[in-house]
Amino acid sequence: MRRPRSASLEPLAGVELDRLDLDLGERSYPILIGPGLLGSSDSYAGLPRSRMAAIVSNETVAPLYARALADALAARHERVVQIVLPDGEAYKDWHTLDRIFDALLAEGCDRQTVLYALGGGVVGDMTGFAAACYMRGVPFVQVPTTLLAQVDSSVGGKTAINHPRGKNMIGAFYQPRLVVCDLDVLDTLPERELSAGLAEVIKYGPIADPSFLDWIEANIVALRTRDKAALAHAVRRSCEIKAWVVGQDERESGLRAILNFGHTFGHAIEAGLGYGQWLHGEAVGCGMVMASELSARLGLMPASFVERMRRLVERSGLPVTGPALGAQRYLDLMRVDKKNEGGEIRFVVIEALGRAALRPAPDALVAEVIEACTA
């Protein structure tokens, strides 16, 4: 597997406007990273002009940032409407999606209307799915406001809602036209949410870039204390790796599955406890410890790797022990996973630092991992 080019990790770059491009032929788009971007009309300069635009956000984020975004868009669109959803993973469902369609129709939004997803991964995933479906597809822009959304969910075009039987089970691949990662909005993010975002930053190390894993370990305190230069580097490097993976395998026919390191166990935790009990990033953090344990028990990685991952996840402020749902319940939940084939659960495991693979594992071994990693 080809590696992304290695990062220049020291010294950290200054906090300046930065731009990456996700190369997907005619569906290519820029990812802007820097401070002060959300409220600047320049950030949106390359987008189609349309009469109408809709900012889709939630009741927490809209009061903080919707006005600044609407002002920045005023020169591009005659009318900018706001659609404010309830906040939380528990609302990432069909009913809330329908509220977006209701509002778009009630406001007279046409096929040229641009949707702007202003919020974390929940708003981004739902707005993207709404954009994919509304009038058979309208343009949309990601304005991610959580660390998790800036480093992962806003990039790559996975859109979805949850089903009570499984996470993100109903959705579409639908790429945004632009991603605007404004580092300043991370100032208002609750600490628990910042930690949740760090889980998705950490995952890029073991799956693709050992030197990034070293860097995260060395800078975890700076990241948790919101040092702007450290956050800028973490967002940029994460987006680079994600763009590199998605650019080769947009629809997850192979390579892209590595981005789900920790997610098989993590999704079982989220669905098993009920969506919203553990944050997605918390479940992924703990899931990475479990997937590392599985990699070790399969003989692929040494026990020291599991300890390294456990320590880093813990230092990020994330749980490292899974809820005691029982091995059978975990296995039942993990059987409802998009990566599975022919009823066989497939896990992302680490084969060597910086190299991941999708593999099945015997139920008995997985049950041992669950017993060892839950309480």
Give the residues lining the site for ligand GLY (CB under 6 A): 152, 156, 158, 256, 259-260
Reply yes or no on whether 371 is catalytic: no
Instruction: Assess 207 for contact with ligand NAD (CB under 6 A).
Output: no
Total number of residues that touch ligand NAD (CB under 6 A):
29
Q: Where are the alpha helices (DSSP H) in the chain?
A: 62-73, 94-106, 121-133, 147-148, 191-208, 210-224, 228-248, 263-273, 280-297, 303-315, 327-334, 363-373
Binding range to ligand NAD, per CB under 6 A, among 19-27, 106-114, 141-149, 358-366: 141-149
How far apart CA 363 and CA 351 sit, in angstroms, is: 20
Reply yes or no on whether 95 is catalytic: no
Binding range to ligand NAD, per CB under 6 A, among 59-67, 297-305, 306-314, 318-326: 59-67
Whichever of 21 and 59 has its CB closer to ligand NAD, that residue is 59
- What is the DSSP code (8-state) at residue 306? H
288 binds, among ligand NAD, ligand GLY, none (CB under 5 to 8 A by kind): none
Structure tokens at 307: 């300890």
Point out the catalytic residue in the list 92, 203, 236, 263.
263
* CA 216 to the chain's CA centroid: 18
Reply yes or no on whether 280 is catalytic: yes
Residues in a beta bridge with 341 = 344
Instruction: Assess 257 for contact with ligand NAD (CB under 6 A).
Output: no
Point out the catalytic residue in the list 167, 237, 280, 308.
280
Point out the residue whose Cβ comes nearest to ligand GLY: 259
Point out the catalytic residue in the list 162, 168, 219, 260.
260
Instruction: Assess 57 for contact with ligand NAD (CB under 6 A).
Output: no
Instruction: Assess 277 for contact with ligand NAD (CB under 6 A).
Output: no
Choice from 34, 166, 206, 281 touching ligand NAD (CB under 6 A):
281
260 binds, among ligand NAD, ligand GLY, none (CB under 5 to 8 A by kind): ligand GLY
Whichever of 175 and 260 has its CB closer to ligand GLY, that residue is 260
Task: Report residue 358: phi and psi, to 5°.
Answer: -100, 125
Reply yes or no on whether 58 is catalytic: no
Minimal distance, residue 269 CB to ligand GLY, in Å:
16
Residues in a beta bridge with 160 = 171
Instruction: Print the binding letters for residues 142-161 with ligand NAD: x by CB under 6 A, - otherwise.
Output: ---xx-xx--xx--x-x---
Q: Beta strand 346-352 with 355-360: parallel, antiparallel or unpaired? A: antiparallel
Instruction: Assess 121 for contact with ligand NAD (CB under 6 A).
Output: yes
For 322, residues 6+ apart whose C-beta sits below 8 A from its C-beta are 265, 269, 286, 287, 290, 330, 370, 373, 374, 375
Point out the residue whose Cβ comes nearest to ligand NAD: 121
Which is nearest to 147 in space by CA: 316, 348, 27? 316
Buried b (16+ CB within 10 A) or exposed e, 177-196: bbbbbbbebbeebeeebbbb
Structure tokens at 312: 């880093």
Which is nearest to 153 in space by CA: 200, 196, 203? 200
Minimal distance, residue 157 CB to ligand NAD, in Å:
8
Please, which of residues 310-349 interact with ligand NAD by CB under 6 A? Answer: none
Whichever of 260 and 292 has its CB closer to ligand GLY, that residue is 260
The answer to whether the CB of 262 falls within 8 A of the CB of 269 is no
SS3 of residue 2 by DSSP? coil
Q: What SS3 string covers 195-247?
A: HHHHHHHHHHHHHHCHHHHHHHHHHHHHHHCCCHHHHHHHHHHHHHHHHHHHH
Whichever of 52 and 200 has its CB closer to ligand NAD, that residue is 200
Reply yes or no on whether 267 is catalytic: yes
Whichever of 199 and 357 has its CB closer to ligand NAD, that residue is 199
Whichever of 87 and 293 has its CB closer to ligand NAD, that residue is 87
For 5, residues 6+ apart whose C-beta sits below 8 A from its C-beta are none
Point out the catalytic residue in the list 252, 270, 282, 293.
252
Which is nearest to 285 in space by CA: 201, 365, 347, 187? 201
Give the residue numbers annotated as catalytic, written as ranges: 136, 158, 200, 242, 252, 256, 260, 263, 267, 280
Q: Which residues bind ligand NAD (CB under 6 A)?
A: 58, 60-61, 64, 87, 89, 92, 119-123, 125, 145-146, 148-149, 152-153, 156, 158, 168, 185, 188-189, 193, 196, 280-281
